[in-house]
Each structure stands twice: as C-alpha cells, then as structure tokens.
Amino acid sequence: MLLLFYILAFIAEIIGTVGGFGSSIFFVPIASFFFEPKLVLGITAFFHVFSNISKLILFGKQIKMNIAIKFIIPSVIGVIIGALLVVNQSTTLFSILIGIFLISFAVYFLFFPQKTIEATNKNIIIGGSTAGFLAGFLGTGGVIRGAAMAAFNLEKNVFVATSAFIDLFVDISRSAIYYKNEFIDSEKMIYIIPLILISFAGSYIGKLILEKIDQVRFRKIVLILISMMGILTIIKEAWL
C-alpha cells in the first residue's frame, strides 16, 4: 500500500507542476485514502516544502520578486489562522470540505476558463490570505492563489517559480504548527524521506513536459481529474 501511495504521489507532483496548481490539490485527497486526516495535513505540509525547494532549483531564476512579496505576508497570516483552526475540527468535516472545494474549483474553471482577477493590491491581499487559509485548513490552497496570480499574465515558467517561492513560506509556517500540535511526529517523519526524492523527480519531469505540452488542453484534463478526485473523496467519506 505504501508503494502505491508513493507512485500516486509521484504522479501528483508531475501533474501539479505542469498544471500550475501545485501537487497538493491531488496529493491531499490521495493521501486521505491511506492516512487519517490530520496526518495527511502534516505529511502534505512537509512534502510541499521540498516540492517547492525543488521547483526553485529548477525555475528559481525566473521569480518575479515584486509580485511574490505582495502575496507572502497575507498568505502566511492566512495559513497560520487556518492551521490553528483545523486543530480542533473533526476529520469528517475535513474530508467533506476537501471534496466540495475540489469539485467547486474544477467546475468553475471548466465553465469560465478565461476568468481572471484584476491585479489590484486589494485583490492580492484577498487572494493571498484566502489561499493561505485554505492551505492551512484543508491542506491545499494554491489554486486560489493561482487564480489571483493569473491577473499578472505571467509566462508559465515564471508563474511556477513565483508561486513556489510564495508557497515555500506558507508551507514552512503550517509545518511548524502541525508538528507542534502532533499532526505528525518524529516516528511518522519516515514517510517524508521517499517524498523528498519524489518531489525533485516529479518536478523535474513536470518541467520537461511543461516545455512541450499544450497547456490549455492539459489544464482541462487536469480540471476534470480534480472534479473526479473531489467526488471520490466525498463518496469515500459517505461510504465509511
């Protein structure tokens, strides 16, 4: 079962890199089939730290620092609030909210693919803080930040680099909170070791694919997969 988990995590990292949403939108529901919800949050946070480091190694020279700085502060504040709130929430609520979030996000962007957010400071604060909160509370929020960042019309490699730089601060913040509240302990940290290698390998393959793929068509496929993942997450919770 662990081998299957790591294979699926590898696929999630590749798709997350190419799709521009980050791997957590797939990794969180995948991990929820193998681990209890709070451990899922802990593993996801630490995995994403290394995932973002790998992207910065591959794409780091293309970071738009002026944009990144505007997102980091509201994102970190949002993730701290979300991570602190989820400490006392039920696991059932966690799973159902993930499912609803994934379906809503996928359906919205399938029907409104050209929808963008105006690049104002107000929208950056709202988008960054919302993305951070969702990352802390649900384990995944990069899609919201991606929608906000789309207003800047960044080239795809610049988008990946800038998003990874922002996300690194978000994931370090929530990792500290999850670890302090025992979402993941020293014994469970062994699960992270293979994920470090997976994060680098998946990001590298994603980069190679990103150079050759029709991103518009691929994103539609990704959105359909996201909606299916949301449906499966809700069905799993109802079935249990």
In angstroms, the CA 50 to CA 36 distance is 22
Query: What DSSP designation does 113 have?
Result: T
**Which pLDDT tens digit goes with each residue over 19-71?**
767 777 788 888 888 888 889 889 999 999 998 899 899 887 888 888 888 88
* 44: Cα separation from own chain's centroid: 9
- For every residue of 7-62, DSSP letters joined together read HHHHHHHHHHHHHSS-THHHHHHHHTTTS-HHHHHHHHHHHHHHHHHHHHHHHGGG
pLDDT, averaged across the chain: 83
**Which pLDDT tens digit goes with each residue over 113-164?**
776 667 778 888 888 898 888 888 877 777 777 767 766 777 777 888 888 8
In angstroms, the CA 35 to CA 105 distance is 24
At residue 39's C-alpha, the angle toward residues 35 and 41, to 5°, is 110
**Which pLDDT tens digit goes with each residue over 151-169?**
677 777 788 888 889 889 9
152: number of Cβ within 10 Å: 17
> What is residue 197's predicted lDDT score, i.e. its pLDDT?
93
**Which pLDDT tens digit goes with each residue over 72-91?**
999 999 999 988 888 776 66
Is this structure's pTM higher than 0.85? no
Query: What DSSP designation does 182 have?
Result: T
